[in-house]
């Protein structure tokens, strides 16, 4: 385990209250090819995350690192539903699944109107139990052996009702990727890593949820450097986004508050730990954590 004592960059002075200045960025594990999809299991005090090119889900705890599932069908993003069950996006099988209490796997979605999904990327569960996921084409245009395929659907955001009904709820994004609700679920944030705006894959859009479905999206923030992939919200409504130089904290009005600087490009993040104020970060070849003075809002 390595540690660095100066991982915070304050942009807005108010950010100073969001961090613990002596808290080090800790490298928890390393040696992966592309890590993604961190999800915290407080009941087991462990973190699950995907090592996508190596087709496995790994389990980290203070006791060490182990394999949770291999092969993982090239799993990417994960979350937990309102019963605490693992919800996973799988590139290889082009589906979203739920792992039941007995360890069996249930398919939540693998098609829409008779056409196969592209490669579900990231997922979140709202209070009503609906499962919301993004479906860009990365998993079928990349060169993972045997999985290259023609897209049958545009890159969209879907909602799966608890009764199983699937609905395309955002249809005009280029490559929807990470997604997160504001604490009161009045707003849905979605990162677009495609080139929808000014031929630039760096945007986070905000969608008003007044009708219970996303309304028209508006530009929330342009990440620089890098792109926004995974995003999470804290209990005061700040949005924490992956970026090329670490994790960026964005206020609810979209302005940059400050950064957690990470020595590798960040793909995704989640809140966890005993007080829900430890930020876990998947960053290219390594997994990191840092303790903040803010707590995660988002389930789980």
Q: How far apart are CA 167 and CA 206, in angstroms?
A: 19
Based on CB atoms, which residue is closest to Mg ion, 269 or 297? 269
Give the three-class secondary structure for 13. Answer: helix
229 lies in the site for Mg ion, by CB under 5 A: yes
Residue 256: CB atoms within 10 A of its CB come to: 19
Distance CA 296, CA 300 (A): 9
Whole-number Å distance between alpha carbons of 181 and 298: 7
The angle subtended at Cα 189 by Cα 228 and Cα 53, nearest 5°, is 40
- Residue 18 or 93 with smaller CB distance to Mg ion: 93
Asked whether position 122 contacts Mg ion by CB under 5 A, the answer is yes
CB 84 within 8 A of CB 300: yes
For the CB of residue 7, give the shortest distance to Mg ion in the complex, in Å: 23
- The residue within the footprint of Mg ion, chosen from 79, 121, 182, 241 (CB under 5 A), is 121
Q: Does position 90 bind Mg ion by CB under 5 A?
A: no
The end-to-end CA distance of the chain, in Å, is: 26
Stretch that binds Mg ion, among 56-64, 157-165, 202-210, 221-229 (CB under 5 A): 221-229
Q: Which range touches Mg ion (CB under 5 A), out of 3-11, 47-55, 177-185, 273-281?
A: 177-185
Which of residues 23 and 296 has its CB atom nearest to Mg ion in the complex? 296
Q: Binding to Mg ion by residue 177, rule CB under 5 A?
A: yes
**CB of 270: closest distance to Mg ion in angstroms?**
12
Q: By C-beta, is 119 or 177 nearer to Mg ion?
A: 177
Burial of residue 176, with CB atoms counted within 10 A of its CB: 0-12 exposed, 13-18 middle, 19 or more buried:
buried
Would you count residue 73 as binding Mg ion (CB under 5 A)?
A: no
Residues that bind Mg ion (CB under 5 A): 121-122, 177, 229
């Amino acid at each position: 385990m390595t540690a660095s004592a100066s991982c915070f960059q304050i942009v807005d002075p108010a950010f100073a209250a969001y961090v613990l200045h002596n808290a080090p960025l800790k490298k928890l594990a390393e040696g992966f090819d592309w890590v993604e999809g961190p999800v915290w299991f407080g009941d087991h005090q462990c973190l699950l995350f995907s090592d996508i090119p190596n087709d496995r889900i790994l389990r980290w705890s203070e006791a060490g690192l182990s394999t949770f599932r291999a092969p993982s069908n090239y799993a990417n993003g994960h979350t937990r539903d309102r019963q605490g069950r693992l919800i996973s996006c799988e590139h290889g099988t082009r589906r979203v699944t739920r792992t039941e209490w007995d360890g069996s796997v249930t398919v939540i979605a693998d098609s829409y109107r008779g056409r196969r999904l592209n490669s579900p990327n990231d997922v979140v569960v709202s209070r009503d139990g609906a499962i919301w996921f993004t479906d860009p084409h990365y998993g079928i245009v990349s060169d993972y052996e045997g999985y290259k395929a023609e897209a049958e659907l545009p890159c969209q955001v879907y909602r799966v009702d608890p009764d199983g009904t699937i609905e395309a709820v955002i249809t005009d994004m280029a490559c929807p990727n990470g997604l997160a609700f504001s604490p009161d679920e009045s707003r849905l944030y979605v990162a677009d890593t495609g080139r929808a705006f000014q031929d630039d894959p760096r945007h986070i859009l905000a969608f008003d949820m007044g009708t219970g479905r996303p309304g028209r999206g508006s530009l929330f923030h342009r990440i620089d450097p890098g792109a926004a992939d995974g995003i999470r919200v804290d209990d005061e409504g700040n949005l924490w986004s992956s970026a090329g130089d670490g994790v960026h904290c964005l206020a609810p009005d979209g302005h940059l508050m400050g950064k957690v600087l990470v020595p590798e490009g960040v793909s995704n993040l989640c809140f966890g730990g005993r007080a829900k104020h430890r930020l876990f970060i998947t960053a290219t070849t390594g997994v990191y954590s840092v303790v903040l003075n803010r707590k995660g809002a988002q389930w789980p």
